[in-house]
Amino acid sequence: MSTTLQTFDTAALREDFPILKEKVHGKDLVFLDSAASAQKPRVVIDAMVHVMEAQYANVHRGLHYMSEKTSDAYEAVRDKVAAFINAGSRDEIVFTRNATESINLVAYTWGRSALKPGDVVAVTEMEHHANLVPWQMLRDAHGTELRIIKITDAGEIDWNSLEEVFADGRVKLLAVTQMSNVLGTYTPVERLAKFAHAHGAKILIDGCQAVVHRQIDVRAMDADFFVFSGHKLYGPTGIGALYAKAEILADMPPFLGGGDMIASVSYAKSSWAKPPHRFEAGTPAIIETIGLGAAIDYVSAIGLPAIAAHEQALTEHALAVLPNIEGLRILGTAQDRGGVISFVMKDAHAHDIATLLDRQGIAVRAGHHCAEPLMGRLGVTSTARASFALYTTLEEIDALAKGLERVRKIFA
């Protein structure tokens, strides 16, 4: 464990994140809520400030210096995102507000054009509401069916259930998370993609959590759609991405109508721009997109393999230390899991845990984590959740354990 961490200078990296020097209730901030949204390194903050101070105008419009420079910087991020997830082409990257909007875009445009009433969309029991509710809305508006693939008590996909759901050949889309935001489970996306394709279905992968912790290769996993948000990847809020295979995007009708997404407009009829711009109506989140580019550069310079190894060591440490607290139970025991750990404590409600930890400067999430059906499956109404990032230290996990011991004593 420690040998891995020696190759990863967490102390130096923490210097890159100004907020980590803040005090909370007079205590050092121990930020263990990065799965909800990660903190931002100085390079991201500076990149965004620089755009506004030195290089700003609207994109794709102006025939003047500032617009051209800004358009170049904006479009360069599309190349960065494409390279980051190993897309085959920059034109397969659509900028959205976040993963939620990406999934809604797919449900609204592809769902209503490629799916027929009676076709089935399958999701798993461990999806975030963002990968459940849009498919319910599609069902209600368009007459598709929604099926739920069960998970095992360990928190892994139940392969028998998967096969049952696909048995009648009506599933046309498998929409699945790559990493549960509650259980930390990684799903076997390459195997799932093979399975979906063998059954005549497409696969949408919600990479919101996974993209932060693992090297993503959309071509190796053979994803038809892959979505993520910038703000969990140390970038700003308000920018996310949708990857879709070029041939799929080509047939998808627009999402929102307006400027920038058209080829030509007349009162009688308008025609649409080619992807990806067809799906980017209106002035985009220029500043945030450039911030995302800086975040990708930052993460890439450290390297996802190094980040993954660091976080694996943190996770192993947490899984070794936290169960020593009397009455604490960690939810999910998946073989392949990452640095997102949900737990409950005997007698102490998750919100009480979070409030008492907050008093000690420790930030964890508590609640249903936008996964209410999963809470029902796990037999709880809410959990507390600690999640790790590249700037998390072993000492912070020890601080969490100490803090939880104090919570236990209050409720003992």
Catalytic residues: 370
Does 28 bind another protein (CB under 8 A)? Our answer is no
- Candidates 105, 366, 374, 390; binder of another protein (CB under 8 A) is 366
Report how far residue 197's alpha carbon sits from residue 401's, in angstroms, rounded to the nearest whole number: 44
- 56 vs 411, beta carbon nearer another protein: 411
- 5 vs 370, beta carbon nearer another protein: 370
Here's the x/- map for another protein, 374-403, by CB under 8 A: it reads as -x-----xx---------------------
Report how far residue 40's alpha carbon sits from residue 234's, in angstroms, rounded to the nearest whole number: 5
- Candidates 208, 328, 356, 399; binder of another protein (CB under 8 A) is 356
Does 349 bind another protein (CB under 8 A)? Our answer is yes
Return the range that interacts with another protein (CB under 8 A); candidates 54-62, 234-242, 308-316, 361-369.
Answer: 361-369
Both tokens of 121, joined, read: 């969309």
* CA distances from residue 112 to 104, 116, 173, 245 in whole angstroms, order as listed: 11, 7, 12, 18
Report how far residue 341's alpha carbon sits from residue 330's, in angstroms, rounded to the nearest whole number: 7
Residues 330, 334, 337, 342, Cα dihedral to 10°: -20
Report how far residue 378's alpha carbon sits from residue 344's, in angstroms, rounded to the nearest whole number: 11
- 87 vs 348, beta carbon nearer another protein: 348
- Candidates 304, 358, 373, 377; binder of another protein (CB under 8 A) is 358
Other CB atoms within 10 A of residue 230 CB: 32
Report how far residue 7's alpha carbon sits from residue 53's, in angstroms, rounded to the nearest whole number: 37
Does 27 bind another protein (CB under 8 A)? Our answer is no
- Candidates 116, 355, 402, 405; binder of another protein (CB under 8 A) is 355
Q: Supply the minimum distance, in Å, between the C-beta of residue 128 and another protein.
A: 16
CA angle 108, 114, 119 (to 5 degrees): 95
Q: Supply the minimum distance, in Å, between the C-beta of residue 156 and another protein.
A: 25
- 170 vs 349, beta carbon nearer another protein: 349
- 313 vs 328, beta carbon nearer another protein: 328
- What lies within 8 Å, CB to CB, of 53 at 6+ separation is none
Q: Which helix (H) or strand (E) holds 296?
A: helix 286-302
Report how far residue 255's alpha carbon sits from residue 284's, in angstroms, rounded to the nearest whole number: 14
Q: Under the rule (CB under 8 A), what is the footprint of another protein?
A: 348-352, 355-356, 358-359, 366-368, 375, 381-382, 406, 410-411
